[in-house]
Amino acid sequence: MTYRITLKSGPRLLIIVAILVLLPVTAVTVFFVFGVLAGLLALAIAAYLEFQLTRFLRLQLASHVTVDESGAHCVTSTGEVIDFTWEDITHAGVCTATNRHRTAFLYDEERDKLVAIPDSFSHLDEFIAEVQKFVTLGSYKLRPDESVRAMLRGMIVDKESADDEDEDDDDEQENHDDQRKGRN
């Protein structure tokens, strides 16, 4: 199934649509109230902002995640295409922020590829249920102002530190065993 942001599932995008409508109206108002020069300047600024906001909105609405038996096919809001097989995914879960917004994520540690699926995507609960058929999802709480990437970075660094300590302990045990054998 394909999951995406829609104006219904992501109502914050309606603010951008409202701004897109109000920008030309404001520019024309400036033209009539303050004169030709100010109006042309306002129109130029409005045209630039319209272009940027329209591009942003188009990319947001084009982003999607498709899930099937082979893996997840993702198109991000930057237009990047990321394909995951279920075997590629080293970390997956659902993060809950302090404001109760949820974000599901899929991460491939080997390629350092992360896809975060915010609750503004349609049918997030169905996405989570479908992904759980293929990988185990963890449940995480984000600290205030913490991103999914920062949380993962901390998790991976902690894991690597623990692995290094285990290796150090193994090396120390081997050295101790070697010393014992040398004395006998």
- Cα 85 to Cα 72, 107, 111, 135, distances in angstroms: 6, 11, 12, 10
CA distance 18 to 15: 5
d(CA 145, CA 155): 16
pLDDT of residue 170: 53
pLDDT tens for the chain, 184 residues: list them. Answer: 888 888 777 778 889 889 999 999 999 999 899 999 999 999 999 999 999 999 999 998 889 999 999 999 999 888 889 999 999 999 999 998 878 888 999 999 889 899 999 888 888 899 999 999 999 898 989 888 888 888 888 877 766 665 555 555 555 545 544 444 444 3
Domain boundaries defined on the chain: 2-62, 71-179
Global pTM? 0.70
Q: What is the pairing mode between strands 102-108 and 81-85?
A: unpaired
